[in-house]
Amino acid sequence: MFKNILGILILIIIFTSCQTTPKKAPETTTIAVPSTYTAYVVRDKINMRKAATAQSEKIKTVNNGDEVQVLQNKDGWYQVITTDDEKGWIRSDFVGTRTLSYARLVTDFVESARVQYETEFFIDQSNPYAVIYLVLPKTYYDDKASARDFAQAIGLKYQEAVYPGRVEIRIMNPDKKKLFTRRTLSPIGPVGLKAPFIRYGRLHSFKRINGDEIKINILVPTGLNQNQFLKMAEDISSRYGDNISKIEIYFVENSGEGIRFFEEEDYSPSNKKICRFYYIEDAQGMDYKADFCD
Q: Are 64 and 101 in contact (CB under 8 A)?
A: yes
Cα distances (angstroms) measured from residue 109 to each of 85, 118, 157, 160, 240: 28, 13, 9, 11, 26
The ranges assigned to domains in the chain are 37-97, 102-185, 202-290
At 12 the pLDDT is 37
Give the pLDDT score at 30: 61
Could you tell me the CA-to-CA distances from 272 to 58, 97, 144, 267, 292 in Å, in that order?
43, 26, 59, 11, 8
**Residue-level pLDDT at 94:** 96
pLDDT at residue 125 in the model: 86
* pLDDT computed for residue 18 by the predictor: 42
pLDDT of residue 5: 39
Whole-angstrom distance, CA of residue 219 vs CA of residue 200 = 9
Strands 246-253 and 213-220: parallel
d(C-alpha 245, C-alpha 226), whole Å = 25
Query: How confident is the model at residue 111, as a pLDDT?
Result: 86
Q: Is 34 helix (H, G, I), strand (E, B) or coil?
A: coil
pLDDT digits (tens, 9 = 90+) for 15-62: 344 444 444 444 445 677 778 899 999 999 999 999 999 999 999 999
- Write down the pLDDT at residue 45: 94
pLDDT value at residue 23: 43
Q: Give the pLDDT score at 29.
A: 54
pLDDT at 288: 97
Instruction: Let me know: does 34 contact 25? Beta carbons within 8 Å.
Output: no
Q: Which residues of the chain have pLDDT under 50?
A: 1-28
Question: By the 8 A CB rule, do 45 and 64 touch?
Answer: no
The whole-angstrom separation of Cα 136 and Cα 157 is: 16
- The CATH code that applies to domain 37-97 is 2.30.30.40
